[in-house]
A and B are shown apart, each in its own frame.
Chain A
Amino acid sequence: MTTNTAITSWCLIRDNEIIYNNDLIFKNTDSSFLNFFKEAYESLNINYPKFFKMDNLCKTGFLAAEILLRDKGLKEKQTSKEIAILFSNANSSLDTDILYQESTKTIASPALFVYTLPNVLVGELCIRHQIKGENACFIFDNFDPDFHTNYIEMLLNTDKAKACISGWADFFNGKFEAFFYLVEGNNNTLPMHTSQNVLKLYKGYGTTN
C-alpha cells in the first residue's frame, strides 16, 4: 500500500449530528429529517437554493460534501478534471423510487424521476463544485473501506486524478447517514490514506496517524 496519499479532511453525518475533522459542528435533536436538513443548511450558511429541490439522498450527501470542501481551496490546487468522485451506498435511490412510484398513480413526477438514480448525487456535487474528473458509483451492502481505498489508490497512482472525494451516503425511510472524505497527496501531519484509517474515521473514532 502506497503512502503517497493522505486523508486531508472528513465529514460524518450520523444520529442527527454533523462532525467535521473531529469537531461537532451541528446537532439537531428534533427527530424530523426535513428539519435537520433545513436547519443544518441555515446554520452552516450554505447559499445554494437548488438544495431544496434535491431528494433526501442528495441532500444527505450534498451537506457532507459541502462541509468537506468548504475552505479547502481544492479548485486552486487542482483543475476540475483532476478531481475524481467515488461514491457508494446500499439503498441506491430506493427512497425516492418509492415516492416516484406513488406519483405514477396519478401523474408521474419528472422532478422525482430525475432522482431515481444513485449517481445523480454525484452529478449534483459536480455541478455545485464544478468537478469534471472521473466519477463512479457502486452499490454494496455496507460501506467497504478496502474497496474505496484500493480504488482511490489506483486512480491516484496512475495519475487519473490528483485528488478524490470519496463518499458513502444513504437515506431510507427517514434514516440517513453520510461519510465523505478527501484524499490528496501526502502531508505528513495528516492521517495516511489506508483502509484501517478510513474505517476508524467511519466508525467515528476520530483522528489517527
Chain B
Amino acid sequence: MSKIYLAGSGAISAIGNNVAETFKSLKESKSGVAPISILQTQHAKNIPAAEVKFTNTELAKIAGLNESISRTALLSMIAAQEALTDSTLSVNLDWRSGFVSANTVGGMDLTEHFMKEYLNDTSTGNLQQVVNHDCGAATEIVAKKLGIKNHVSTISTACSSSANAIMYAARLIKNDILDWAIAGGTDAMSAFTLNGFKALMILDENPCTPYDENRKGLNLGEGAGYVVLVSEKVAATLPKKMTVELSGYANANDAFHQTASSPEGKGNFLAMEAALKMSGLKTNEIDYINLHGTGTPNNDVSEGIAIMRLFGEHIPKSSSTKAFTGHTLAACGGIEAIISLLSIENKMLFPNLRLETPMKELSFSPITELQENVEIKNVLSNSFGFGGNCSSLIFSKV
C-alpha cells in the first residue's frame, strides 16, 4: 500500500488567517483567546473565546462566496483553498481527488439567527438562512467551489472529527480509490454551542490553562484546518519534495460516558497504542505529543494517565496548543495536524501557554517555553471527542 504524504496545508483560526500567520503567532506565544467580540451572545462579557476576528461579510469576501453562506462553510473554504493552492495540485482528470470534511455545528450560526426572529413572529425570518443547516451542506458548498467530484463526504464525531477525516482520506488513497484528497475540518462559534458547553459547566471564565493543576475548563474556539494527502505516485509528480508523511493512525472508543473520559483514559490509550503499532515506531521514537489538552479537569488527567501508561519512564515532550487556539471542536484535529507539521518542518516545539503548576497526578508536564533547533522526526497528535470517540495521528519526517 502507498505511503501517504502531506503535500499542502491551510488553516484559519484565532491565531492566524493562514498557515504563515499561524506559525508567527505560535513562535511569538501570541494566544488568540480574548473577550467575545463577533458572536452575539449575552455571555460575551463573562466568557472568553478564540474567535476568528472577521465578520461573515469579511470572511465571504476572502472566501469568494456569498455572505449568506454559513460561517462554518466560509471558514472551510478559506482553509481548504489555501491547502489546495499550497499543494500546487489542480482538480482535473489526471487524478481522482476527494474532499473529506468534518464539522459539528453545520449552518447553526445562521439557523439560530433565523430561529430568534421566527420565534418572535412566524411571519418573519429569512428561510434562505436555514437552507444550508445540515453538516453535509458546508462540505458540499466547498467541494463544489473547488470542483472536487470523485468523492465528497462529511464526518461528524465531535472533537475527533477532523482527525477521523484525515484517517478516512488516507484509507481511500491507500486502497486506490483516490489519488489525493483534501482532508480536515471546520467549526464556527455559535450561541447553541456556547450555551451547551456552559450548561455542562466545563468552560473556563478566564483564558484556559491546559495541564495546570488548577485548570478550570476550556475556552471555545473556531476555525478550519485542512491537509492535502497524496499517494506516492502523485507525490512523484509534484515540484516540491515531500517532507512529512502520515505514518500511523487509529481510532477507538472509551466506552465510559457520553461526554466524560474514563479516569484511566482507556480509549485514549487504545487509540495511541494502535497508531504506534501501525507506524511501526517504538514509544521512544516519538519526539513530541500535541496533546488534546482541552484544559478541563477531566480530559487532561485522563489523557495524562493514558500517556504515562503507554510511554512508561520515557515520556516525550508535549504541549497543548489549545491555549493558543481555544478548542476548535471539529476543526481541532485538522488545525493541530498543521501545527504538528510546522513543528517538524521548522524544528520547533511550541509551548503550552499559561501553565504554572504541574498536575500532581502526572509524572510529566508539558513544555512551557518555545524550543528551537530541535530535531523532530515523529509527532503524535491526539483528538478525543464526545461519545467516547478517540483518535490519534502520527506524522513523521521523510
Interface residues of A (CB under 8 A from B): 80-81, 85, 91-92, 94, 97, 100-101, 104-105, 107-110, 113-124, 126-127, 130-141, 150, 154
Contacts and interface: CB of A to CB of B under 8 A. Distances in A.
Given A114-B259, A120-B258, A139-B135, A104 B195 contact: yes
10 contacts: A104-B195, A109-B199, A110-B196, A113-B199, A116-B196, A117-B104, A131-B255, A133-B253, A139-B154, A140-B136
A139 B258 contact: no
A150 B177 CA distance: 10
B387 A119 contact: yes
B170 to A, nearest CB: 11
A124 B257 CA distance: 8
Interface of B: 104, 106, 108, 112, 115, 119, 133-136, 153-158, 164, 168, 171, 175, 177, 191-192, 195-201, 250-259, 266-267, 270, 274, 385-389
Contacts of B153: 138, 140
A113 B254 contact: no
Given A140-B136, A154-B175, A131 B253 contact: yes
Contacts of B388: 122-123, 126-127, 135
B252 A114 contact: no
Contacts of A127: 255-258, 388
Contacts of A100: 192, 196
Contact of A132 (B106, B157, B253, B259): B253
Contacts of A121: 387
A122 B199 contact: no
A140 B155 CA distance: 10
A119 B386 CA distance: 8
A120 B119 CA distance: 28
Given A126-B253, A132-B253, A133-B253, A154 B171 contact: yes
Contact of B196 (A108, A134, A135): A108
B386 A118 contact: no
A106 B115 CA distance: 15
Tell which of A92, A121, A131 has the most Cβ of chain B within 10 Å: A92
A123 B253 CA distance: 7
B115 A101 contact: yes
A131 B200 CA distance: 25
Contacts of B177: 150
Nearest to B100: A138
